């Protein structure tokens, strides 16, 4: 007789510890049921990893699942795993029916990530039970401390459980207790226990592997031959001895009065199942863990090779109750030789959880890869070209992130991923794209209203996070037919306010006043100004109908907007900081007003959100990969994140700049984003750069690509991101948000606060308050006055500059200032002037002159805009900045209705507040105040810089 089949006569059921799609589809499982009497199937994360991850057998199924709609990697895995389990359950169903529910089960394990979480295990087990929808399913739950209450709870709800990762007799007793008390609770609630089944999966071979190793260590150091022989005798004996004693416990636990009470209600005993019965040590018989453990009412689940071996040469006999005393003696002797089985079994549980988590990581990584392949047309690509050291560091940090489940913890909003301060309160952006999708109908209504009103222009009045995202949208998307043109105003420069005013038709303009806090000066004064101007144009009572507000609930701006009868007030999410808010109402309201297809934008975005999900391990997770590259580059001094964006998405860098600088630049650490520097030859740069290049598919620029390739060849780290189209910009918003959060964790800072911006705001407030009472800003004393300019800085900078040769000319001061730069520094031009094409060009030319002559990174920024962006890093980040602040007389100031401080005064106070904080922080800073004609002043400054560099 077939030895496998013969096990039936001993009351033991043989199950198959294996599963794969083709194996079931081709009828191989059916054959084993028919020929060998196989009565069940078990799976585990390693089994699925081998099945799904190491073959192309599932590509079709994954493709078919995705054809019904994109989904997260975890959901995708579950979809195919559930199908496999259903197929196996259906093949085993006749066995289940024939044996009246006493056998014919298939097991599916809950995620190993949840092994230490009772509540999550229960939720997942219930979900899997409902998803598989098969009576002959057993959900596998580990016998960890946290798993035990989950087991009881699930049994009490009538869910059949295969208790897994069981190694110790002591824990086995607790497992049986969980089952019995679960059944009692079920009955007490009127449930029918006859529909519930359970097995306790006692792991065998792993125990021998672990015990043998300790015995071998002792044998190696033992001197006495008798002692060596005693140790040798125990090898390969303990796992079976342990199992035999557990079986004695089983007989006791499922025989007394307590059990009989349950039995009369129809309860089935929780059978012991021998798991881990494939022989690991080649020196032992390949069927030893079947042959020695045969007994009534037990199960043995075996891998295919062990099944084949037993069929070939197995010798069944009723072995389980043989030599039970010897088994006890062996266990005692093990203790006597100083090996603690308890310690080993405890360790084995921990290791087993980690091993399955490792397999699950691999499995989800493989599914993520397959998903990306199937969706190749829909997900932006990213390639990292990192030199060896950086690549190694990224790999090591990635492995640490994987091992410690950090990406899942991040998504679980665990603040200990960062500094443990209050980061958990600032993670709303993780789910904001999905949340915004749910509001599509409202946005569509709003867009309809905007269109119907015939607005020609829509102007966002806001700063930083409230303006830079909308600005990217305004630049990236063409004006939509029938919808207004989208503009952004983020300045207190009088000339810039006027230019904006002249570029729109006030009577047909919609103003979107955006401020999360509601208390930011700029949006408030811009609103006051334009509200009055619109009132003058359309009538004061109708002005409100030209305004909407986006602000967090309860802000002062909400109050103002309500009183002024704004057409709409949209609420932001208080758990999202400004720079992470583009995929929230702060980006979506302007986008809707401009008629951008939000459904498409968010759908495209969601593909990246899923790619960066908690279930995608670091290696395959594009956001984590970018963040690790940024963070690790920062740790090795490559802290100038140089962003180049192609024409179609040219404004992206201005948004990313705020995100990276304000998030990471603090506590003397951080990354300095460099936006707007065109690429140059490798010799132009120091060793402090990380290049991130973004372009859309279809755009090509051979000269730019050649420069990038040369940088890579020269050993600079280069990240290349290719967007499927400009419409996919939302994917980059999300990728960069996640990457910045990850980089923040690597750098060891809180990426969600901006302490140094607040300091500058306080100084500015003090200065404007002084103006409101006295009518002038407090006087200041220039370090030098010339016909064209006044120079200001604090005493310590003055002393340093004089020592470096600053004397009676502008040129000498600029020269002394630039002479203070060292390799690894950056030079930032901070100009409080109108941000227009001509001024952008002028600053560009100055910065590039510095870069090319000094091989330094450069920034060209406009105030007060940058105060709400890179300003944080300049003040709070690494002390590697050399700052040249540029201020000027305003040719024509502009009054702010209702207050004495004009736009010009506010701008001047902002510049001074900014500068004071820079010098207070000991930064190398010099302020040049240009007098008279601005164009001429900028020219003489440009000349001074060039002369200084020569
Ligand atoms: O939306 P709010 O509250 O007006 O803030 C605008 C910007 O100001 C900052 O708080 C910095 O000053 C940024 O973080 C923010 O994006
Ligand atoms: O339920 C089955 C177990 O997951 C399996 O038997 C473990 O076997 P292993 O120790 O060979 O990995």
Residue 206 beta carbon below 6 angstroms from any ligand 2 atom = yes
Q: Is 44 in the pocket of ligand 2 (CB under 6 A)?
A: yes
pLDDT for 761: 83
578 CA from centroid of ligand 1 (Å): 6
Active-site option among 140, 268, 415, 640: 140
725 by Cβ neighbours in 10 Å (0-12 / 13-18 / 19+) ranks as middle
Bridge partners (DSSP) of residue 548 are: 512, 568
Distance CA 587, CA 498 (A): 25
Predicted confidence band of residue 395 (pLDDT cuts 50, 70, 90) = very high
pLDDT exceeds 90 at position 377: no
Asked if 826 contacts 675 with a C-beta cutoff of 8 angstroms, the reply is no
* pLDDT band, residue 758 (cuts 50/70/90): confident
Total length of the chain: 950
Determine the atom of ligand 1 nearest the C-alpha atom of 466: 1
Question: Which residue's CA is the closest to the ligand 2 atom numbered 2?
Answer: 275
CA of 510 to the centre of ligand 1 (A): 22
Whole-number Å distance, alpha carbon 519 to ligand 1 midpoint, is: 9
Q: Is 359 in the pocket of ligand 2 (CB under 6 A)?
A: no
Residue 394 has pLDDT above 90, yes or no: yes
Looking at residue 930, its pLDDT comes to 97
Over residues 41-69, mean pLDDT: 93
Q: Using CA atoms, how far apart are residues 748 and 744, in angstroms rounded to an integer?
A: 6
**pLDDT at residue 376, rounded to an integer:** 86
Sheet holding 689-696, edge to edge: 381-385, 718-723, 689-696, 640-645, 672-675
53 pLDDT exceeds 90?
A: no
d(CA 450, CA 456): 10
Is any ligand 2 atom within 6 A of the Cβ of residue 276?
yes
Q: What angle do CA 354, 87, 182 make, to 5 degrees?
A: 60
Query: Please, what is the Cα angle at 519 between 515 and 522, to 5 degrees?
Result: 70
Please report the atom of ligand 1 found closest to the CA of residue 758: 12
- In the predicted model, what is the mean pLDDT of residues 843-861? 97
Tens of pLDDT, residue by residue over 225-266, are 999 999 999 999 999 999 999 999 999 999 999 999 999 999
Q: Which pLDDT band holds residue 54 (cuts at 50, 70, 90)?
A: confident
CA distance 80 to 83: 5
Does pLDDT of 762 surpass 90?
A: no
Helix (H, G, I), strand (E, B) or coil at 302: strand
User: For ligand 2, is residue 278 a contact (CB within 6 Å)?
Assistant: yes
Q: Given this model, what pLDDT does residue 567 score? A: 98
Distances from the Cα of 371 to the Cα of 19, 62, 132, 616, angstroms: 22, 7, 22, 11
Examine residue 864 and say whether the peptide bond preceding it is cis (omega within 30 degrees of 0): yes
Nearest CA to ligand 1 atom 16: 465
pLDDT of residue 337: 96
> Which residue lies with its CA nearest to atom 5 of ligand 2?
276
pLDDT 10s digits, 60-93: 999 999 999 999 999 999 999 999 999 999 999 9
Pocket test for ligand 2, best of 13, 17, 300, 351 (most atoms within 8 A of CB): 17
Q: 566: helix, coil or strand? A: coil
Main-chain phi, psi angles of 126, to 5 degrees: -65, -40
| For residue 219, pLDDT beyond 90 | yes
pLDDT tens-digit series, residues 790-824: 999 999 999 999 999 999 999 999 999 999 999 99
Tokens 């002005």 appear where?
543
Q: Which of 469, 490, 516 to mutate to test the pocket of ligand 1 (most atoms within 8 A of CB)?
A: 516
Asked if residue 664 lies in contact with residue 751, where contact means CB atoms within 8 angstroms, the answer is yes
Q: Which of 512, 520, 758 to mutate to test the pocket of ligand 1 (most atoms within 8 A of CB)?
A: 520
State which ligand 2 atom lies nearest to the alpha carbon of 47: 4
* 140 tagged catalytic: yes
Q: Any idea which of 207-221, 520-534, 754-768 has the lowest mean pLDDT? A: 754-768
Nearest atom in ligand 1 to 578's CA: 16
Q: Residue 576: its pLDDT value, please? A: 98
Nearest ligand (C-alpha, residue 516): 1
Residue 441 burial by CB count (10 A; 0-12/13-18/19+): exposed, middle or buried? exposed
Higher pLDDT, 91 or 787: 91
Ligand whose nearest atom lies closest to the CA of 515:
1
Domain 3-352 = CATH 3.20.20.70 = yes
- Name the residue with the closest Cα to ligand 1, atom 11: 868
How many C-beta neighbours within 10 Å does residue 894 have? Answer: 18
Q: Is the CB of 301 under 6 A from ligand 2?
A: yes
CA distance linking residue 792 with residue 887, whole number of Å:
11
Give residue 656 CA to ligand 1 midpoint distance, Å. Answer: 15
Q: Is the confidence at residue 763, as pLDDT, over 90?
A: no
What does residue 17 show for φ and ψ, rounded to 5 degrees? -95, 65
pLDDT at 937 over 90: yes
> Is the pLDDT at 760 greater than 90, yes or no?
no
Q: Which residue has tokens 């050399």?
A: 882
Residue whose CA lies nearest to ligand 1 atom number 2: 515
The pairing of beta strand 784-785 with beta strand 789-792: antiparallel
Q: How far is the CA of 278 from the centre of ligand 2 (A)?
A: 8
Q: Does ligand 2 have an atom closer than 6 angstroms to the CB of 45?
A: no
- pLDDT value, residue 790: 97
Which residue do the tokens 């300095």 mark?
Answer: 672
Q: Nearest ligand to the C-alpha of residue 165?
A: 2
How many CB atoms lie under 10 A from the CB of residue 927? 27
Rounded distance, CA 130 to CA 498, Å? 63
With a Cβ cut-off of 6 Å, ligand 1 is lined by 462-466, 515-517, 520, 523, 578-579, 662, 754, 757, 868
Three-class SS state of 614: coil
Rounded alpha-carbon distances, angstroms, from residue 133 to 30, 130, 474: 21, 5, 49
Structural element, H or E, at residue 842: helix 837-854
d(CA 96, CA 533): 80
Evaluated on CA atoms 740, 741, 745, 748, the torsion sign reads positive
Name the closest-CA residue to atom 7, ligand 1: 464
Percent of the chain, pLDDT > 90? 97
275 contacts 175 by C-beta, under 8 angstroms = no
Which two tokens mark 196?
């519930």
Residue 471 above 90 pLDDT?
A: yes
pLDDT of residue 485: 98
The protein residue with its alpha carbon nearest to ligand 2, atom 10, reads 276
- Which pLDDT band, with edges at 50, 70 and 90, does 655 fall under? very high
| CA torsion, ordered 41, 46, 50, 51, to nearest 10 deg | 40
Other C-beta atoms within 10 Å of 193: how many?
19
For the domain made up of 376-407+620-747, the CATH class stated in words is alpha beta
CA proximity to 115, closest of 147, 137, 154? 147
- Is-contact 108 139, C-beta < 8 A? yes
Assigned CATH for 755-949: 3.40.50.10490
Domain ranges of the chain: 3-352, 376-407+620-747, 431-605, 755-949
- Closest to 784 in 3D by CA, of 817, 831, 827, 829: 817
CA–CA distance from 313 to each of 285, 289, 316, 407 (Å)? Answer: 10, 13, 10, 48
Distance 253 CA to ligand 2 centre (A): 25
CATH number corresponding to 431-605:
3.40.50.10490
Of the chain, the percentage scoring pLDDT greater than 70 comes to: 100
**Radius of gyration from C-alpha coordinates of the chain:** 35
Query: Per-residue DSSP letters for 860-909?
Result: EEETTGGGGTTHHHHHHS-S-EEEEEEEE--SS--PPTTSSS-HHHHHHH
Residue 9's CB: how many other CB atoms inside 10 A? Answer: 11
Distance 520 CA to ligand 1 centre (A): 7
To test the pocket of ligand 2, the residue of 19, 41, 44 to mutate (highest count of ligand atoms within 8 Å of its CB) is 44
How many angstroms separate the CA atoms of 229 and 188, rounded?
55
Measured from the alpha carbon of residue 50, the closest ligand is 2
897 conformational bin, left if phi > 0, alpha if psi -120 to 50, beta if neither: beta
Question: How does pLDDT run across 145-184, given as a tens digit for each residue?
Answer: 999 999 999 999 999 999 999 999 999 999 999 999 999 9
The residues that bridge with 920 in the sheet, in sequence order, are: none
Starting from the CA of residue 301, give the closest ligand: 2
pLDDT exceeds cutoff 90 at 1: no
Residue 467 Cβ contacting ligand 2 at under 6 Å: no
**Once rounded to an integer, what is the mean pLDDT over residues 726-748?**
98
Angle at 203 between CA 35 and CA 159, to 5 degrees: 75
Give me ligand 1 centre to Cα 468, in Å: 11
Strand ranges (E), 265-328: 271-275, 298-302
pLDDT tens figures, 593-632: 999 999 999 999 999 999 999 999 999 999 999 999 999 9
Contact 160, 198 (CB under 8 A): yes
Same fold, 376-407+620-747 and 755-949: yes
- What's the mean pLDDT in 566-584? 98
pLDDT for res 649: 98
Q: Is 275 in the pocket of ligand 2 (CB under 6 A)?
A: yes
Ligand nearest to the CA of 586: 1
Q: Which helix (H) or strand (E) holds 288?
A: helix 288-291
Distance 851 CA to ligand 1 centre (A): 30
> Quick check: CB of 201 below 6 Å from ligand 2?
yes
Residue-wise pLDDT tens digits, 99-151: 999 999 999 999 999 999 999 999 999 999 999 999 999 999 999 999 999 99
3-state secondary structure 790-835: EEECCHHHHHHHHHCCCCCCHHHHHHHHHHCCCCCCEEEEEECCCC
Structure tokens at 270: 């929780």
CA-140 nearest atom, ligand 2:
1
| Region label for 595, one of left (φ > 0), alpha (ψ between -120 and 50) or beta (otherwise) | left
Give CA–CA dist 174/491, Å, rounded.
Answer: 68
- Asked if residues 613 and 499 have their Cβ atoms less than 8 Å apart, the reply is no
If you measure from the C-alpha of residue 868 to the centroid of ligand 1, how many angstroms do you get, rounded to a whole number? 6
* Closest residue CA from atom 8 of ligand 2: 276
Beta bridge partners of 884: 829, 926
Supply the mean pLDDT for the chain. 97
How far, in Å, is the centroid of ligand 2 from the Cα of 398? 28
């Amino acid at each position: 007789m077939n030895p496998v089949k013969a096990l039936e006569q001993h009351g033991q059921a043989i199950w198959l510890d294996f599963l794969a799609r083709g194996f079931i589809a081709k009828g191989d499982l059916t054959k084993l049921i028919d020929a060998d009497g196989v009565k069940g199937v078990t799976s585990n994360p390693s089994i699925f990893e081998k099945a799904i991850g190491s073959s192309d057998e599932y590509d079709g199924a994954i493709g078919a699942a995705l054809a019904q709609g994109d989904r997260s990697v975890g959901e995708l895995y579950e979809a195919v795993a559930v199908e496999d389990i259903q197929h196996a359950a259906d093949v085993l169903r006749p066995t289940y029916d024939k044996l009246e529910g006493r056998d014919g089960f298939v097991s599916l394990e809950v995620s190993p990530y949840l092994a230490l979480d009772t509540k999550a295990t229960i939720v997942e087990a219930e979900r899997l039970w409902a998803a598989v929808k098969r009576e002959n399913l057993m959900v596998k739950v580990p016998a960890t401390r946290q798993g035990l209450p989950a087991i009881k709870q699930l049994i009490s709800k009538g869910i059949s459980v295969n208790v897994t990762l069981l190694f110790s007799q002591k824990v086995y007793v607790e497992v049986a207790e969980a089952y019995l008390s679960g059944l009692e609770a079920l009955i007490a609630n009127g449930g029918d226990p006859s529909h519930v089944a359970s097995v306790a999966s006692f792991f065998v071979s792993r125990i021998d592997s672990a015990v043998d190793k300790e015995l071998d260590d002792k044998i190696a150091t033992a001197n006495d031959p008798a002692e060596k022989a005693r140790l040798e005798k125990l090898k390969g004996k303990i796992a079976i001895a342990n199992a035999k004693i557990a079986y004695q416990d089983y007989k006791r636990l499922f025989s007394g009065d307590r059990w009989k009470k349950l039995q009369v209600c129809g309860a089935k005993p929780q059978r012991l199942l021998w798991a881990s019965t494939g022989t690991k040590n080649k020196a032992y018989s390949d069927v030893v863990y079947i042959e020695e453990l045969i007994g009534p009412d037990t199960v043995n689940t075996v891998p295919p090779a062990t099944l084949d071996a037993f069929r070939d040469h197995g010798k069944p006999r009723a072995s389980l109750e043989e030599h039970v005393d010897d088994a006890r003696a062996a266990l005692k002797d093990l203790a006597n030789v100083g090996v603690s089985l308890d310690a080993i079994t405890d360790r084995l549980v921990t290791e087993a959880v980690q091993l399955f988590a490792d397999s699950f990581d691999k499995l989800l990584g493989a599914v993520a890869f397959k998903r990306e392949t199937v969706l190749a047309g829909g997900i932006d690509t990213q390639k990292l070209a990192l030199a060896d050291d950086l690549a190694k560091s990224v790999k090591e940090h990635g492995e640490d992130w994987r091992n410690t489940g950090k990406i899942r913890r991040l998504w679980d909003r665990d603040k200990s991923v960062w500094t443990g301060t209050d980061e958990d309160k600032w993670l709303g952006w993780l789910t904001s794209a999905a949340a915004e999708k749910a509001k599509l109908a409202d946005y569509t209504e709003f867009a309809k209203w905007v269109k119907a009103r015939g607005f020609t222009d829509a102007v966002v009045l806001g700063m930083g996070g409230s303006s830079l995202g909308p600005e990217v949208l305004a630049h990236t998307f063409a004006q939509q037919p029938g919808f207004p043109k989208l503009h952004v105003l983020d300045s207190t420069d009088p000339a810039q306010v006027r230019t904006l005013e002249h570029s729109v038709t006030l009577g047909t303009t919609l103003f979107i006043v955006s401020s999360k806090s509601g208390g930011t000066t700029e949006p408030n004064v811009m609103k006051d100004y334009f509200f009055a101007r619109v009132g003058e144009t359309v009538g004061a009572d109708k002005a409100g109908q030209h305004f909407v507000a986006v602000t967090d609930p309860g802000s002062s701006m909400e109050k103002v907007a309500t009183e002024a009868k704004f057409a709409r007030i949209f609420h932001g999410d208080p758990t999202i900081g400004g720079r992470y808010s583009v995929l929230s109402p702060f980006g979506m309201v302007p986008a809707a007003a401009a008629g951008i297809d939000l459904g498409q934008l968010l759908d495209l975005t969601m593909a990246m959100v899923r790619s960066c999900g908690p279930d995608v391990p670091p290696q395959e997770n594009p956001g984590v990969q970018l963040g690790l590259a940024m963070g690790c580059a920062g740790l090795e001094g490559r802290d100038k994140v140089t962003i180049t964006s192609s024409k179609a998405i040219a404004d992206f860098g201005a948004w990313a700049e705020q995100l990276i600088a304000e998030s990471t630049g603090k506590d003397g650490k951080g990354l300095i984003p460099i936006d707007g520097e065109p690429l140059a030859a490798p010799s132009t740069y120091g060793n402090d750069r990380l290049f991130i290049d973004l372009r859309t598919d279809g755009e090509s620029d051979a000269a730019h690509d050649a420069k990038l390739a040369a940088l890579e060849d020269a050993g600079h780290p280069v990240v290349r991101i290719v967007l499927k189209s400009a419409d996919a910009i939302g994917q980059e918003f999300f990728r960069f948000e996640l990457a910045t959060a990850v980089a923040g964790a690597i750098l060891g800072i809180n990426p969600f606060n901006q302490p140094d911006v607040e300091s500058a705001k306080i100084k500015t407030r003090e200065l404007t308050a002084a103006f409101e009472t006295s009518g002038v800003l407090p006087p200041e004393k220039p370090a030098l006055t010339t016909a064209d300019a006044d120079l200001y800085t604090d005493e310590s900078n003055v002393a340093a500059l004089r020592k470096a040769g600053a004397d009676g000319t502008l040129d000498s001061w600029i020269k002394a200032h630039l002479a203070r730069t060292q390799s690894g520094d950056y030079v930032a031009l901070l100009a409080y002037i109108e941000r227009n094409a001509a001024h952008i060009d002028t600053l560009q030319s100055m910065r590039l002159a510095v870069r090319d002559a000094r091989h330094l990174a450069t920034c060209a920024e406009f105030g007060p805009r940058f105060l709400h962006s890179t300003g944080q890093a300049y003040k709070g980040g690494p002390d590697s900045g050399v700052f040249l602040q540029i201020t000027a007389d305003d040719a024509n100031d502009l009054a702010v209705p209702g207050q004495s401080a004009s736009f010009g005064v506010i701008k001047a106070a902002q510049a001074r507040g900014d500068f004071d904080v820079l010098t207070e922080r000991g930064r190398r800073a010099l302020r040049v105040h240009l007098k008279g004609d601005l164009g001429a002043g900028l020219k003489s400054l440009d000349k001074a810089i060039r002369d200084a560099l020569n």
